[in-house]
Structure 1
Amino acid sequence: MALVRRTRGASPSADSHVMTHLRAMVWGPAEFVGLPPWGLVTEGVLAGILTVGAVVGTALYGAWTGCPSLADGEGGLVCAAALAVYLVSVGAGRALVGVVVLLGVCLALHTPQAAAGVVLAERGRAQSATVTSVEDGWATDGGWGRYLCSVRDADGVPLKVRIWRGCGDATRPGDAITLVY
């Protein structure tokens, strides 16, 4: 038994009209019985694949060419926003648009790190470095929870930047770490 709250003077048909309108806004044309038409499934899968390709592609292109706005994920955010605009224009429900935007933003914000790693692995140069000191990032930076290593290159020249990849609680001064730069 469902409870329906009615305001004074509202007829049952007015309440059902409001609920129907809200349900249509939230779910859009996805509110039907049975399997969706193949054309709708194909269009959705194609839009998703193209958007993922655009988000990842812009981050890779930005990391490869050094374009900061693309390498930082801003281009991916634009691609996710373009998909949201497309979904709203075809009448998709707000629930679908919200989920797609959330996933698109997450992908756009996580892709730049992966793209930088791919570009470094492809174009970077590996060199051995010697650890000179290890610091607990939690104690020095107030919450990062990473270990930070100061290193010097094979010629004995200290690097200006502390590294965290490959540096852990078992790392000690004098250990060798491979750097890709």
Structure 2
Amino acid sequence: MKQGPTPKRKEAEAARKKALKVPKDTKEARKAVRERTRQQRAEVRVAMARGEEWAMPLRDKGPVKRHVRNLVDSRWHFGELFLPIAMAVLVLSLVPNPQVARFVYLLWLLMMLGTIVDEIFLGFKIKREINKNYSDPKERKGAIFYGLMRALQLRILRIPAPIVKIGGKPKEFK
């Protein structure tokens, strides 16, 4: 949307020159640039956490990725436990008790099997949904892998933040 009339060349050049004024002290100039970039990064980070499309990296942009994010975020996944259980297994494997070691290996095996089975079903679900809703193969490229990797992350650590609650219906986007 247009904000107003296009500025005349004289006005545009004056505005550009005004923006180019740097302090005589280069140390102060560097500090000002650093502060400005820090503020810009903070704004982008907050916008990305809110889920605003303009602030997202290229891998998260587009209606297909948004649909996959909402599909993944709409239910709980076994892969979310991968990191906490892996840390527990790592700590418990240091215990010299053979019974604890057997329990740890069983826990590791069950966690791996649960994660693999859940990821397989999720992959099929994502593929079915995106094939049904999006016809362009270029749009769909990488969407399944994107969804599977998102399902492996703890929900509170996902960026962009989930906007669909667990048990909620994935929002439809086209």
Is the TM value for this pair above 0.5?
no
Structure (1 or 2) with the larger CA radius of gyration: 1
The structure where strand makes up a greater share of residues is 1
Higher relative contact order (CA 8 A, sep 6+): 2
Q: Normalized against structure 2, the TM-score is what?
A: 0.32
By percentage of residues, which structure has more helix? Answer: 2
